[in-house]
Amino acid sequence: MKILICAYDKSSSGISAYTIELAKVVKEIARVDLMCFDAIEEELEGVKSILETKINAPRFAPLLSFMLARTKLKSLKEEYDVVHETLPPYGSLFSNLVTTRWSHLTYSQIAALRTRELSFPEKLGGIPVTLQHYLLDSMSFKKAKYVIRVWSGEFPIPCEIKRIKEYNNQGKINLLFVSRDISMPRKNLKVVVEALKHVKVPNRFALHIVGGGKIPKYLKRAKIDYFIHGKLPRERVLELMRKVDVLVLPSTYEELGYVGIEAYSVGLPVIVSNILPFRNIFKVSLKFDPKDPLELAKILDGLDHSLLAELGHKTHEYIANERSRLKFKLKLLYEKVSKQ
């Protein structure tokens, strides 16, 4: 069986990581081609990269990006048993399509959220960008023989299992927060900062922040122990995960939160907000109301190095089992779709 996965585009860090890791899983059950719109930074043994071309369109013009790529997409002569699309609608020109729905919200809800929760100037594109995504997604959803709802937990999230980290048994508890833009409201760094103001023993904790964007004023004023690492490549983030004690994902909205999956892959415990996708995906994580810093503070007060090691081993075991389950489910799905 031959599978085309489309498409890798590094402009979206979560979707691009998901796409790469999906290719690594699928190559264990089938032959794989991976459509790429950017050069892949790591060597993917057993995966053939095709159509390696950069789409020169701004982030706020996804419809233009598709129109620019359409001619090259039509030039592909290879026939595939199944086309697995992670970036709609780039697989919509092919038959036997399996596509991906990333959000559980309606498009009107997404438009409102982008306008309200993104940083400036991205928020200006809330309505026009969402309208373009609605038109593009519809092309794939109408043609697809199956739609994988990533946020539902129906299909496990693909991730390569890595060597489990070593756990600290003394010293401060080091928290990690990761975001492309640390000032983005929906990423909700503020609730972590507020929680650290309310823990019983503040000097037990240190907060490590990875990401770009402006440093929020509330962080500058906060009397907490924190370190800003700036933007880091994926491998550097994974290195940092081996040094800290727990990742916190406090988002008010996410489609996936892939950095949490990568934390699971090295055995780093993850504390998440109790939004719907996180409840479905991060089954062995402690959860809190993203609007309640006192609830997060209570969770932090209950942590010690022994508990964190226990949680870390559970996350590593869980994600390994999920990867095996994903292979089984994808094999059945591909066989079914190819015969329809």
User: What value does the mean pLDDT take over residues 119-124?
Assistant: 74
pLDDT at residue 55, rounded to an integer: 65
**What are the distances in angstroms from CA 37 to CA 10, 50, 55, 132?**
8, 9, 6, 19
For residue range 181-229, list pLDDT tens digits in order.
999 999 999 999 999 999 999 999 999 999 999 999 999 999 999 999 9
Query: In what helix (H) or strand (E) does residue 141 lie, and over which residues does it extend?
Result: helix 126-143
Question: Who has greater pLDDT, 41 or 19?
Answer: 19
> pTM of the predicted model, to two decimals?
0.91
User: What value does the mean pLDDT take over residues 87-109?
Assistant: 94
CA distance 245 to 308: 7
Question: Where do you find CATH 3.40.50.2000 in the chain?
Answer: 173-320
pLDDT at residue 71, rounded to an integer: 79
pLDDT at residue 7, rounded to an integer: 87
CATH 3.40.50 fits 2-152, yes or no: yes
Helix (H, G, I), strand (E, B) or coil at 65: helix
pLDDT at 125 over 90: no
CATH architecture of 173-320: 3-Layer(aba) Sandwich (3.40)
CA distance 328 to 319: 14
Choose among 264, 275, 274, 273: nearest CA to 316.
Answer: 264
CB of 248 within 8 A of CB of 176? Answer: yes
CA distance 177 to 111: 26
Choose among 92, 80, 99, 96: nearest CA to 32.
Answer: 80
pLDDT at residue 274, rounded to an integer: 98
CA distance 96 to 303: 48
Residue 57's pLDDT band, with cuts at 50, 70 and 90, is low
